[in-house]
Structure 1
Amino acid sequence: MSAPSGEHGFLHELQIEVEAEVVEVEWSRPAEAAALPVADWQFDPTDAEREEIALRGLLDAVEVLENGPHPGDPGDGRR
């Protein structure tokens, strides 16, 4: 297996980092935390849910960049 290089290497590394962050947010179990009294919260569950949504959006963007047309590719509409 060869290591990705250039832009694809950067995107691959970014994807790995973001996926790790998503797992961390999932482990925090914001739905369970929301069931606790506010005084017992270690974090705001709503913030954790927002963060997960943003991270998943970033993952989608990375996927589009990895799989989508690149400048100069035939059919990308740019020259």
Structure 2
Amino acid sequence: MNKPTGDDDFEIELEVEVEAELRMSESSRPEEAAGRPLSEWLFDPADAEREDIGLRNLLSAVEELEADRRPRRRGADEGA
């Protein structure tokens, strides 16, 4: 099944956005915030961890979509 080029562009843009969000999430260092007094937290470290997990799952899904659309090569044992 062929998809319009617009879908490809959307998926590439989505992947770039998710990767940028992951970099921001990782740079926030939630593990350091957890060691500070609650009154100094700028965010809940548990929320940051849940967001990170969700972003990684979304990135995996986008990568899987891309992999599904790549042309598959026939192996030597698959016949002609």
TM-score by length of 1: 0.78
**Secondary structure class of the residue paired with 2:36:** coil
Residue in 2 aligned with 1:74? none
Name the counterpart of 1:62: 62
Moved over 3 A (4+): none
TM-score normalised per structure 2: 0.77
Q: RMSD of the TM alignment (CA)?
A: 1.4
Residues 1:53 and 2:53 aligned together: yes
CA distance in 1, matches of 2:49, 2:42: 14
How many percent of aligned residue pairs carry the same amino acid? Answer: 55
Equivalent in the alignment of 2:18:
18
Larger radius of gyration, structure 1 or 2? 2
The code of the aligned residue for 1:58 comes to: L
- Which residue of the partner structure matches residue 27 of structure 2? 27
Q: Which residue of 2 aligns with 1:75?
A: none
| Matched length | 66
The Cα shift of 1:58 comes to: 0.1
Structure 1: gaps spanning 5 or more residues: 71-79
